[in-house]
Amino acid sequence: MKSLVLTVLSLLVLAGAMLAQDAPLTNIYAAGVSFNSAGSPSVSGTGLYARLVNDGSGTYAFTVVDALPQNTKPFTVTSNFGFGIAQKVFAVGNIPIFVPSSAGISFSGPNTGWAWSTGALAWVRLKGNWGLAPNVRVVKSSVSNGTGYQPVLGILFAWGS
């Protein structure tokens, strides 16, 4: 399973390298799915809104929402709402690589606490204003029922203006 996911992500990056990149998008709206090995079930959901704050450096301010299942019986989900900065650090061909870091609140049932995440995200521009954003992140929450650091491997489907 892991090698399949890595192969698909590699193909996306290579395919994106062949597409011409236009000017950076000012607003990006994205939603997607993730594989979370610490969750039960291992499928998570992510939503993101990003706004370009500095075109010259490739800096975006963003809001991220993660829904991370913890248990099936009883079914519990940890929801993380974070606010942060995504900084372009380099590019592979025409594909910019960002490091998104966020901090915010987390809740699971009656428990409320803090959450943070960081990782790497690639922006693969498709036709028009559509794009894919494969990402690898680490998520941590104070109310994640002892699951600790949660590595999350995912893909976001995005539209921007």
The structural domains of the chain, ordered by start, are 2-160 (2.40.160.20)
Q: What does the pLDDT look like over 77-126, one tens digit per residue?
A: 889 999 999 999 999 999 999 999 999 999 988 889 999 999 999 999 99
Helix (H, G, I), strand (E, B) or coil at 15: helix
In the chain, the largest separation of any two C-alpha atoms, in whole Å, equals 49
Q: What is the pTM of this model?
A: 0.81
Residue-wise pLDDT for 22-37, tens only, equals 678 899 999 999 998 8
CA distances from 144 to 127, 133, 134, 147 (A): 38, 25, 24, 6
What pLDDT score was predicted for residue 114?
94
User: What is the reported pLDDT for 150?
Assistant: 86
Q: What is the mean pLDDT of the chain?
A: 86
Q: Residue 102, Cα to own-chain centre: how many angstroms?
A: 11
Q: What is the mean pLDDT of residues 120-145?
A: 92
Q: Is the bond preceding residue 74 a cis peptide, omega within 30 degrees?
A: yes
Instruction: Give the pLDDT band of residue 54 (cuts 50, 70, 90).
Output: very high
Q: What is the pLDDT of residues 9-22, one digit of tens each?
A: 454 444 444 344 56
Of residues 4 and 110, more confidence is placed in: 110
| pLDDT, position 29 | 97
pLDDT of residue 8: 44
Percent of all residues in the chain with a pLDDT value above 70, rounded to a whole number: 84
Mean pLDDT of 62-87: 92
